[in-house]
Structure 1
């Protein structure tokens, strides 16, 4: 099976080798950071403020599902990580997307602003959240 994915998904999937990695594209500074599990609840409770005014796209990439776009373009209404349930909930207009038992979360930023987040879940599916 051939999996087609966005360029942002490729950058996150194949470029996130080490935490704190930075590079420059033209005059823009780009960076990747793997979040420690202890940071997840606080990070997601403030994510809505950090991406206010941007549209979110949610893609799921996995061996059994291929590359599927769940949400093309809508504002993020809220995000919550519940440590006891090991569940990340993303609320957008008309739906809530739940990611069960995240294992790794990587954030890609540009000039200090969040442009994408990759969440790898218990089934090794890559949930790619991009903001534009």
Structure 2
């Protein structure tokens, strides 16, 4: 595994790149915190995209039947190695972790420009 922190300056371009290459991937969204424990919000449903809106400071995961928003995210971690993207973890301002896990590794071509 190659989990790495993604600098905030790269969020918008990285998520646009990921969303552009999603085809028939399925994912699950897990929400985890000390108060809530681990909760599955969406379990292995079609994953349509992820985006960061710097104006509203919100990350949005779009899955079938679920529009999962993380307002004012503090940190983003991606598990992306040479094989491809496995998961995205977003830590919200409240410390809650929002984890999107892909069922199959998403093979990403190199970005057209430096992210």
TM-score by length of 2: 0.82
| Counterpart contact for 1:51–1:131, Cα < 8 Å | no
Aligned pairs, number = 103
Give the alignment's Cα RMSD to 1 decimal.
Answer: 1.4
Give the unaligned 5+ runs of structure 2. 104-115
Greater RCO structure (CA 8 Å; 6+ sep): 2
1:97 is paired with a residue of what secondary structure?
Answer: strand
Indicate the residue corresponding to 1:108 in structure 2.
79
Give the unaligned 5+ runs of structure 1. 1-29
Q: Which one has the largest radius of gyration?
A: 1
More helix, by proportion = 1
1:1-132 → structure 2 map (5 Å cutoff): 30-132=1-103
**Whole-Å Cα distance in 1 between the matches of residues 41 and 89 of structure 2?**
14
TM-score by length of 1: 0.72
